[in-house]
Structure formats: structure tokens, C-alpha cells
Amino acid sequence: MSPRALALAALGNVLQKKQQLDEALKPFSSQLEKLESRDRAFVRLLTTTTLRHLGLIDRVIKACLDHPISDKQIEVKNILRLATAQLLYLDTPPHAAVSTALDLATHPRNKPFKGLINALLRRIAEEGKALREQEDPEICSVPPWFWNRLSSNYGEDRARAIIQSQLQEPPLDLSVKSNPAAWAEKLGGQLLPNGSVRLPAGSGDPSLLEGYTEGEWWIQDAAASLPAKMLGRTENLKVADLCAAPGGKTAELASSGAEVLALDISAKRLERLEENMERLGYHNVTVQAADIRDWAESSNELYDAILLDAPCSATGTLRRHPELIRIRKANAIESLSSVQTTLLEAAWKRLKPGGTLVFSTCSLEPEEGQDQVDLFLAAHSGDAARNPLSPEELAALTQSPSEEEAFVPLVTADGDLRCLPCHWRDLGGMDGFFASRLIKKKPAAN
């Protein structure tokens, strides 16, 4: 299959089968492996660009149609979407975008629409960018329910800034074992205030970069690197990393010298975590596949510190996973927040008195962040307390004491971490993340 044919198949699986992109591409892994690295990257770029701008792409297509295309002709719609993405966002020459779209319409059910595809795309090549400029990119790039929630929670100006950041192809962030400044120079990257090394979007296959095979660094968004650091000094402590896969936070904890239990419900995802720990040379990690609720009841063994990166709607990661907003429904937030409540209660059982638990999600939704913590603290007034974070402490925890000012926007009045995609915008933004640090009170002495 050609790269565009693979992108077409993946787009269909995302939009029709509601699959995440990795799952949508899985049936075509053998075909992908046969492609050159550049072509594999193009499959993802084309698919994610189409998904990222899908609302606006559909409006441009609709404006150029005399009559709407039937929902039964979904493959024709997707061919047009991919070609329009190339014309409007990837600067593909019009003749290439049109001819390759026609090449995709070879199935007998699509052949009657070749004339329409040809004429429509030629018109979009001429008028599409002007039509695009007439639309409101922030509002029409996401479903109405998401825009309404975002603007209600953050205000319209901040909501627009968040979506603008999520409409950009994200950079590649690396957490390095040591000497990040040297690695930034070596890889031609930028050193971020938290010590991450940032490479520009489109930097190619990370496994081909210097230092990957030697285990000198791992891939991790700048925001995702912060919750583990909130546990503070963990050397020689017993730490449980819950919902650990694919292992970025596990690596953070292992690098600090902790004795780490990496637990995840997915044995398959833990295989990747183990591969990452082997590559990085971290042997102070024990891996276990289990549901947190079962694990909490399976033993009385307690941990000095726990990091619970709970499953969530992941609305903070849309710039990396634009398909999620096409899969998620508004009611999913309520059901996921209920799961988070039970997981937080389960994790709490395995924390030592005097120990620290960091609860985190990569969500922008209050129900999956500060509301969750406030409800937990109300239910545990006798044995739990928030241990508030300050920008000064966060700068120190990331070994960046001179960068305190950069961390001010990331810390809430309650002392929680709240990263938004528009934070550090001049540096390329970051994923949306929430984290709160909780202390388990020791029983009062008699």
C-alpha cells in the first residue's frame, strides 16, 4: 500500500471505528515496515494533520460542493479530506494532491466519483486558502461540546490560546539522564526551563538520533516530566508508579534512585515499558500487570511514595493525539472521573502514613483534576492533606533554580500543577497536565 492509501485506511478506522491512531494503524504494521522512514512519518503526518484540522477542512469542502456527498460515500469524503489537508496545510503541489487522490478512488464503488473529486480538488486548490481564512479556526476545529466546556472553564481568550497551541504539530521533547545542555547542543535542540531538550516538529525517527540506542534519553513531553519530580527526593525509597506504561514517569523515578514498582493493567503496554527500561539501563524497576483495585487488596505492603497517573479523557494531549477529540464524547468525562475516584481510593490504601501521593491526569477538565482532589480531601479530612507546590520549589525540583519565573503560570493558587497547552507558548507549548501532591497524615500519638 502507498503512504496515502495507508493514511486513508487509518483515517477510516479512526472516524468510523473510533480507534486511536496507533490502534488504527496496527492492522497495517507489515506494510508500514516496508516503507522508508520518511514515508512512514508521512503516513502519520498526513493522518494527524487531517484530524487536527478536520472541522475546518469539512467546512471548506462543503463550501465548494453544489450538493452534499452522501454519508454512504464515506471513503470518498475521506479521500477529499486527505487531499484538502495536503492543499491547505502541507503545501503539496496541486497536481500531486489531485492525482494521488484520484489514485485512491480506484475501488468500483468510488470510480463514479472521480470526476467530482477531480473538479472539487481543483477548485479547493484555487479557492481553499481564501475560504479557510473566512472561518474561525479555533471554534470550528473542535466539536461544540468541547469548545463550550473549554471556554466555560478557562474563558474565551484562554480557550482560543489552548486550541491554537493544539492545532500546531508538536515538537519532540526528550528527558536526558545527565548534562541536558550538552545534549541540546549535540542534537541541535533547545533547552527548556525544566531541563528537557526540545527538538523541532518533524525531527524524524527518534530511534535514529544520537544517544537513543545508548539509552542516554527518553521521549517525554515537558509537562509530563513534572509530576514525578513533585515527589521530591526518592532515592532508596519504595515508590509505586501506577498506570505506568509506556514508562516516561517510571524512568524519572528510576533515575532518582528509587526502588520502583511499575504497575499497569495492560501487559502488552508493559512490554514496551520493559524494553525502555532495558535500553535506559534502569534495573531498579519491578514490573507488574494488574488492576490497581485488585493490587490494593492483594497485599498489606506499603509504599513511601505513590504516583498515580490516572486514566482520563486526555484532552490535554490533543496536539499529539488529535484523533481523541473525534473519539471522545462529553459523557466520557463523567465516567472516567468515577474511575479516577476509585483508583485514588485504592492507591491510598497502599501509601505509608507520612508518605506522599501525587495524583495526575493529562486532562484539561476540572472534574479530572482539582475537583477530584477536592472531593478526596473532603472525604479524607482525617488522614489526608494537600502539600502545596510553589514555583520556587518546582524550579528547584527540576534543578532549574534560575527559571522560577517560567514556573509561575504552572502553579495554581491551591499549590497544584496545572499545565496548559498554551503555556511556554514562545517555546512551543506543552501538553495539558494536572497534578496534586497529597500527604498521608500519621496517626496522632496517644
Of the pLDDT bands very low, low, confident and very high (cuts 50, 70, 90), residue 443 is: confident
Express as a percent the part of the chain with pLDDT over 70. Answer: 100
Looking at the domain 3-135, which fold is it? Answer: N-utilizing Substance Protein B Homolog; Chain A (1.10.940)
Averaged pLDDT for residues 406-410: 97
Checking if the pLDDT of 445 tops 70, the result is: no
Of the pLDDT bands very low, low, confident and very high (cuts 50, 70, 90), residue 94 is: very high
Least confident of 126-130, 298-302, 327-331, 355-359: 327-331
Averaged pLDDT for residues 214-241: 97
Of the pLDDT bands very low, low, confident and very high (cuts 50, 70, 90), residue 171 is: very high
Catalytic residue (one of 64, 312, 362, 422): 362
Of the pLDDT bands very low, low, confident and very high (cuts 50, 70, 90), residue 406 is: very high
Cα angle 285, 397, 371 (rounded to 5 degrees) comes to 85
Of the pLDDT bands very low, low, confident and very high (cuts 50, 70, 90), residue 270 is: very high
Closest CA to 161 of 404, 364, 367: 364
**Residues 6 or more apart in contact with residue 23 via CB below 8 angstroms:** 13
C-alpha cell at 56: 475546518
Mean pLDDT over the full length of the chain: 95
Averaged pLDDT for residues 23-37: 93
Least confident of 108-117, 315-324, 353-362: 108-117
What is the pLDDT at residue 107?
85
Strand (E) or helix (H) holding 394: helix 391-397
Q: Give the residue extent of every domain in the chain.
A: 3-135, 172-440
pLDDT digits (tens, 9 = 90+) for 45-93: 999 999 999 999 999 999 999 888 888 899 999 999 999 999 999 999 9
Checking if the pLDDT of 256 tops 80, the result is: yes
What is the pLDDT at residue 83?
97
Active-site residue flag, 419: no
Closest CA to 219 of 280, 169, 163: 280
Checking if the pLDDT of 106 tops 90, the result is: no
What CATH homologous superfamily does 172-440 map to?
Vaccinia Virus protein VP39 (3.40.50.150)
Are 175 and 199 in contact by the 8 Å Cβ rule? The answer is no
Checking if the pLDDT of 172 tops 80, the result is: yes
C-alpha cell at 149: 466546556
pTM here is: 0.93
Checking if the pLDDT of 446 tops 70, the result is: no
Checking if the pLDDT of 400 tops 90, the result is: no
* Residue type present at position 418: R
Distance CA(86)–CA(96), nearest Å, equals 9
Checking if the pLDDT of 108 tops 90, the result is: no
Distance CA(201)–CA(277), nearest Å, equals 25
What is the pLDDT at residue 231?
97
Distance CA(103)–CA(391), nearest Å, equals 55
Express as a percent the part of the chain with pLDDT over 90. Answer: 90
